[in-house]
Amino acid sequence: MIPYGRQEITQQDIDAVVDVLKSDFLTQGPKVPEFEAKVAEHVGARFGIAVNSATSALHIACAALGLGEGDYLWTSPVTFVASANCGLYCGARIDFVDIDPRTYNLCPDALEKKLIQARSEGRLPKIVVTVHLCGQSCDMERIKALSDEYGFRIVEDASHAIGGKYQGEFVGNGRYSDITVFSFHPVKIVTTAEGGLAVTNNPDLASKMELLRSHGVTRDPALMTHEPDGPWYYQQVGLGFNYRMTELQAALGVSQMERLDDFVSRRHKLARRYDELLADLPVVTPWQHPDSYSGLHLYVIRLKLGELGVSHRQAFESLRDQGVGVNLHYIPVHTQPYYESMGFSADDFPEAMQYYREAISIPMFHGLTFEQQDEVVEALKRALTL
Ligand SMILES: *Cc1c(COP(=O)(O)O)cnc(C)c1O
């Protein structure tokens, strides 16, 4: 089976992890700060806070921004459930904004319309989570302008987008948001096995997220309510979690980050090749906004079902039967039973549902060979003409 995504691990990565195993610190040592600095520097942000997953990073981002009961968090329905669940962890309520049919990202026009309505009803969101689907940035300049007008904060879920750019600058530099979150799950562009990282330019948010990551406990006298009792002293100043990343993971991340540019350019080479090979097939290939240089975590095609004699499901099953590990990113979150029970119904977000009826993620990862890519295309041709 050719998977849709796969990690790329070299001897250099393995050596980096083994070195940590032989060192004094398996956790809370020097590698985590090194990894944080490396990611923050690469993307052009002041602070980086590494945690054990992007899900944890989204949670502490929302908590640091003060999200709580009675607040709303809005995001795109076409995302992994974690982009919305982070709001629920904080006791907030969730709502969604339909997608742009070209980029599949949260649509700024739909956002503006919903904000106007929400203002009149007195239920404006506190946070909007913008998800850079497949690695292509959302229209952040527009969304930031709306945030200035309507007073919400912005968390970028850039789980797909490390190494990608928006308006010529790396995603994560914080020009148009408060906090940006990356994921290092093995299918993503850079991996630490499990892991996530939040970047911000705001020292107050950085310090809050650091506390939240580790029990709400500090050893920094400046953050304490009184002088330390002695050199042993630590103080709990809030309620936090244990969301720490290990030294093993951070060492793998540092090693991986050195190849980030190579990772992203390889994905672009593969995407250009897919674009050409699929040009004459009854599918829509990914449209790229001129402001965006995608991280290209995923390559999603949409079937032109009106021109096909097969259903979406038949094409999908045929690809799997032929050994192509296709996937579907994502089942619109508002249709999940857990969310449906909050009162959402499928047709609340018609563009998201249309996307869901047509989308297939085909293999896209660093080690995918041109020969395997040709196999995928041949399998797709057969799948579309069953
Ligand atoms: C993978 C992913 C997450 C969650 O990442 P973890 O590191 O697995 O917690 C969140 N949002 C999006 C869009 C993702 O793709």
Q: Are residues 31 and 70 in the same domain?
A: yes
Q: Are residues 23 and 81 in the same domain?
A: yes
What local confidence, expressed as pLDDT, does residue 130 receive? 98
- Give 277-310 pLDDT, tens digit per residue: 999 999 999 999 999 999 999 999 999 999 999 9
Active site residue 188: yes
Q: Are residues 175 and 95 in the same domain?
A: yes
With a cut of 90, say whether residue 212 has pLDDT above it: yes
* Average pLDDT over every residue of 87-112: 98
- For residue 48, the cross-strand partners are 199
What local confidence, expressed as pLDDT, does residue 219 receive? 94
Q: Are residues 240 and 285 in the same domain?
A: no
With a cut of 80, say whether residue 259 has pLDDT above it: yes
Q: Are residues 186 and 270 in the same domain?
A: no
* Average pLDDT over every residue of 325-346: 98
What local confidence, expressed as pLDDT, does residue 386 receive? 75
Range of the domain at 301: 260-383
- 292 CA to centre of own chain: 16
249 Cβ inside 6 Å of ligand 1: no
Question: How does residue 244 score in pLDDT terms, banded at 50, 70 and 90?
Answer: very high
192 Cβ inside 6 Å of ligand 1: no
Residue 155 CA: distances (Å) to CA of 75, 124, 140? 10, 16, 11
- 145 CA to centre of own chain: 22
Residue ending a domain, among 194, 227, 257, is 257
Q: Are residues 239 and 117 in the same domain?
A: yes
Tell me the CATH number at 341. Answer: 3.90.1150.10
How much is the mean pLDDT over the chain?
A: 98
Q: Are residues 143 and 77 in the same domain?
A: yes
Q: Are residues 104 and 158 in the same domain?
A: yes
Residue ending a domain, among 201, 230, 257, is 257
Which tokens hold the place of 223? 């953050």
Question: How does residue 357 score in pLDDT terms, banded at 50, 70 and 90?
Answer: very high
Which tokens hold the place of 370? 């041109």
Measured distance CA(208)–CA(65) in Å, rounded:
9
What local confidence, expressed as pLDDT, does residue 49 receive? 98
264 Cβ inside 6 Å of ligand 1: no
With a cut of 90, say whether residue 50 has pLDDT above it: yes
Q: What is the share, in percent, of the chain residues with pLDDT greater than 70?
A: 100
With a cut of 90, say whether residue 226 has pLDDT above it: yes
* Average pLDDT over every residue of 102-108: 98
- Give 52-84 pLDDT, tens digit per residue: 999 999 999 999 999 999 999 999 999 999 999
| Of residues 62, 119, 65, 124, the one with CA closest to residue 87 | 62
Q: Are residues 177 and 81 in the same domain?
A: yes
- Residue to mutate (ligand 1; options 51, 55, 187, 331; most atoms within 8 A of CB): 55
Residue ending a domain, among 257, 287, 314, is 257
Ligand 1 centre distance from Cα of residue 196 (Å): 8
* Average pLDDT over every residue of 192-218: 98
What local confidence, expressed as pLDDT, does residue 198 receive? 99
Tell me the CATH number at 217. Answer: 3.40.640.10
Contacts of 216 (CB under 8 A, 6+ apart): 236, 237, 238, 239, 240
CB hemisphere CA count around 313 (13 angstroms): 0
The answer to whether 64 touches 209, Cβ cutoff 8 Å, is yes
What local confidence, expressed as pLDDT, does residue 64 receive? 98
Q: Are residues 79 and 24 in the same domain?
A: yes
Q: Are residues 60 and 180 in the same domain?
A: yes
Q: Which residue has the tokens 């599918």?
A: 283
Q: Are residues 214 and 284 in the same domain?
A: no
Q: Does the model's pTM come out above 0.95? A: yes
Structural domain count, the chain: 2
Per annotation, catalytic residue among 126, 188, 208, 381: 188
160 Cβ inside 6 Å of ligand 1: yes
